[in-house]
């Protein structure tokens, strides 16, 4: 078969991968691309089919499990307000179960105590337990008097 047939097949399989995101069509597209190179060199139809089969099998057996494992892992870095969870902050205005103000990463944030019955005084160090909208939910680092 002519090399441009395999190139056309690779493009079609690549488009199918774009819409399905299964990684199967993408690996077959790569195999078709390798087969286009083999056909371009002048290898016959049997050699092209062997190249297609070996490349597709290698992709499915070797590459796909590794890629799927990496995609399933959680990212190592947190972004946005999620990155603030677990950080220390200083209380700027008394923090209660409903309101307060803290200095977190150089910025002032509205805050409320995790334990609604707790009152955290000015100057106390707190840990950010979660972020709810623009409010940090905090818990004191040390026991309060």
SS3 readout for 104-125: ECCEEEEEEECCCCCCECCCCE
- pLDDT by residue for the chain (145 residues), tens only, comes to 899 999 999 999 999 999 998 899 999 999 999 999 999 999 999 999 999 999 999 999 999 999 999 888 887 777 788 889 999 999 999 999 999 999 998 999 999 999 989 999 999 999 999 999 999 999 999 876 6
- The model's pTM: 0.55
- Contact predicate 108/97, CB 8 Å: no
């Amino acid at each position: 078969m002519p090399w441009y047939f395999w190139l056309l097949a690779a493009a079609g399989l690549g488009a199918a991968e774009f819409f399905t995101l299964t990684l199967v069509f993408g690996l077959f597209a790569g195999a078709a691309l390798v087969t286009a190179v083999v056909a371009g060199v002048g290898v016959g139809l049997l050699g092209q089919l062997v190249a297609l089969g070996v490349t597709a099998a290698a992709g499915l057996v070797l590459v796909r499990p590794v890629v799927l494992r990496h995609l399933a892992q959680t990212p190592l870095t947190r972004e946005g307000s999620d990155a603030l969870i677990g950080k220390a902050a200083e209380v700027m205005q008394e923090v209660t179960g409903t309101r307060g103000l803290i200095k977190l990463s150089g910025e002032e944030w509205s805050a409320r105590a995790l334990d609604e019955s707790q009152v955290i005084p000015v100057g106390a160090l707190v840990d950010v337990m979660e972020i709810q909208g623009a409010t940090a939910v905090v818990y004191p680092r040390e026991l309060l008097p």
